[in-house]
Amino acid sequence: MECGVVATRVKVFPGDTVEVKGKILPGCKGFEVNLGKDCDNLVLHFNPRFDCKGDVNTIVCNSRRDGVWEDEERDSHFPFEEDGNLKVSFTFNTSEVKVKLADDHEISFPNRLGLDVIEYIAVEGDFRIRVLKFC
Protein backbone atom coordinates (compact mmCIF):
# COMPACT_ATOMS: atom_id res chain seq x y z
CA MET A 1 0.00 0.00 0.00
CA GLU A 2 1.78 3.12 -1.17
CA CYS A 3 1.21 6.43 0.55
CA GLY A 4 2.62 9.83 -0.20
CA VAL A 5 2.73 13.54 0.27
CA VAL A 6 4.16 16.27 -1.95
CA ALA A 7 4.99 19.81 -0.82
CA THR A 8 5.80 22.48 -3.40
CA ARG A 9 6.74 26.12 -3.10
CA VAL A 10 8.52 25.47 0.20
CA LYS A 11 11.68 27.40 0.98
CA VAL A 12 14.44 25.38 2.62
CA PHE A 13 17.61 27.47 2.76
CA PRO A 14 21.21 26.46 3.55
CA GLY A 15 21.43 25.59 7.24
CA ASP A 16 17.76 24.53 7.42
CA THR A 17 16.68 21.03 8.42
CA VAL A 18 13.67 19.01 7.29
CA GLU A 19 12.56 16.24 9.64
CA VAL A 20 10.35 13.35 8.55
CA LYS A 21 8.62 11.03 11.01
CA GLY A 22 6.22 8.24 10.32
CA LYS A 23 5.46 4.56 10.22
CA ILE A 24 7.02 2.03 7.86
CA LEU A 25 4.20 -0.19 6.65
CA PRO A 26 4.15 -3.99 7.03
CA GLY A 27 5.45 -5.70 3.88
CA CYS A 28 7.41 -2.58 2.91
CA LYS A 29 9.45 -2.94 -0.27
CA GLY A 30 10.87 0.57 -0.04
CA PHE A 31 10.13 4.24 0.38
CA GLU A 32 11.69 7.51 -0.71
CA VAL A 33 12.17 11.09 0.33
CA ASN A 34 12.92 13.49 -2.52
CA LEU A 35 14.27 17.02 -2.05
CA GLY A 36 14.92 19.49 -4.85
CA LYS A 37 13.64 22.19 -7.15
CA ASP A 38 10.87 20.01 -8.66
CA CYS A 39 10.28 16.33 -9.47
CA ASP A 40 12.76 16.46 -12.38
CA ASN A 41 15.54 18.25 -10.45
CA LEU A 42 16.32 16.50 -7.17
CA VAL A 43 19.29 17.39 -5.03
CA LEU A 44 18.60 14.19 -3.05
CA HIS A 45 16.62 11.04 -3.75
CA PHE A 46 16.83 9.10 -0.45
CA ASN A 47 15.53 5.56 -1.04
CA PRO A 48 15.77 2.85 1.65
CA ARG A 49 15.04 -0.48 -0.05
CA PHE A 50 13.94 -3.53 1.92
CA ASP A 51 13.65 -5.66 -1.22
CA CYS A 52 13.28 -3.53 -4.31
CA LYS A 53 14.97 -3.16 -7.72
CA GLY A 54 17.54 -5.84 -6.89
CA ASP A 55 18.60 -4.25 -3.59
CA VAL A 56 17.98 -5.79 -0.17
CA ASN A 57 18.34 -3.76 3.05
CA THR A 58 20.21 -0.97 1.30
CA ILE A 59 19.90 2.81 1.28
CA VAL A 60 20.22 4.24 -2.23
CA CYS A 61 20.90 7.96 -2.69
CA ASN A 62 20.91 9.77 -6.00
CA SER A 63 20.25 13.08 -7.71
CA ARG A 64 18.19 13.88 -10.78
CA ARG A 65 18.97 16.64 -13.26
CA ASP A 66 16.42 17.65 -15.92
CA GLY A 67 14.66 14.29 -15.52
CA VAL A 68 17.84 12.21 -15.87
CA TRP A 69 19.14 10.13 -12.96
CA GLU A 70 22.80 10.52 -12.05
CA ASP A 71 25.15 8.02 -10.35
CA GLU A 72 23.67 6.15 -7.38
CA GLU A 73 25.46 5.88 -4.06
CA ARG A 74 24.68 3.02 -1.67
CA ASP A 75 24.96 2.69 2.10
CA SER A 76 24.65 -0.75 3.67
CA HIS A 77 23.79 0.65 7.11
CA PHE A 78 20.09 -0.23 7.40
CA PRO A 79 18.40 0.49 10.75
CA PHE A 80 14.84 0.32 9.38
CA GLU A 81 12.23 -2.30 10.29
CA GLU A 82 8.95 -3.19 8.64
CA ASP A 83 6.04 -1.99 10.76
CA GLY A 84 8.48 0.23 12.67
CA ASN A 85 8.66 3.93 13.37
CA LEU A 86 10.95 6.18 11.38
CA LYS A 87 12.65 9.48 12.13
CA VAL A 88 15.11 10.95 9.66
CA SER A 89 16.37 14.51 9.24
CA PHE A 90 17.88 16.24 6.22
CA THR A 91 20.13 19.26 6.76
CA PHE A 92 20.66 21.22 3.56
CA ASN A 93 23.68 23.35 2.71
CA THR A 94 25.26 24.60 -0.50
CA SER A 95 27.77 21.75 -0.74
CA GLU A 96 25.78 18.76 0.54
CA VAL A 97 22.74 17.33 2.26
CA LYS A 98 23.40 15.58 5.57
CA VAL A 99 21.00 12.78 6.39
CA LYS A 100 20.75 11.81 10.06
CA LEU A 101 18.99 8.58 10.96
CA ALA A 102 17.34 7.85 14.32
CA ASP A 103 20.35 5.78 15.45
CA ASP A 104 22.65 8.81 14.79
CA HIS A 105 24.16 7.30 11.62
CA GLU A 106 24.89 10.08 9.11
CA ILE A 107 25.06 10.05 5.34
CA SER A 108 26.50 13.01 3.42
CA PHE A 109 25.36 13.43 -0.16
CA PRO A 110 26.82 16.15 -2.42
CA ASN A 111 24.67 19.00 -3.73
CA ARG A 112 25.42 18.02 -7.33
CA LEU A 113 22.88 20.49 -8.72
CA GLY A 114 24.35 23.44 -6.84
CA LEU A 115 20.91 24.44 -5.56
CA ASP A 116 20.76 27.33 -3.10
CA VAL A 117 17.16 26.61 -2.02
CA ILE A 118 14.94 23.51 -1.87
CA GLU A 119 11.41 24.15 -3.11
CA TYR A 120 10.06 20.60 -3.50
CA ILE A 121 9.69 17.73 -1.01
CA ALA A 122 8.02 14.40 -1.73
CA VAL A 123 7.63 11.34 0.49
CA GLU A 124 6.38 8.20 -1.23
CA GLY A 125 6.25 4.43 -0.92
CA ASP A 126 5.31 1.95 1.77
CA PHE A 127 5.43 4.59 4.46
CA ARG A 128 2.79 6.58 6.35
CA ILE A 129 4.03 10.07 7.09
CA ARG A 130 3.04 11.54 10.46
CA VAL A 131 5.26 14.63 10.69
CA LEU A 132 6.99 16.87 8.16
CA LYS A 133 8.82 19.49 10.21
CA PHE A 134 10.93 22.43 9.08
CA CYS A 135 13.66 23.46 11.54
Helices (H), 39-93: none
pLDDT tens figures, 8-63:
999 999 999 999 999 999 999 999 999 999 999 999 999 999 998 889 999 999 99
- Integer angstrom CA distances of residue 108 from 27, 42, 68, 95, 105: 28, 15, 21, 10, 10
Which pTM value belongs to this model?
0.94
The structural domains of the chain, with segments of one domain joined by +, span 3-134
pLDDT tens figures, 87-120:
999 999 999 999 999 899 999 999 999 999 999 9
Domain 3-134, what fold?
Answer: Jelly Rolls (2.60.120)
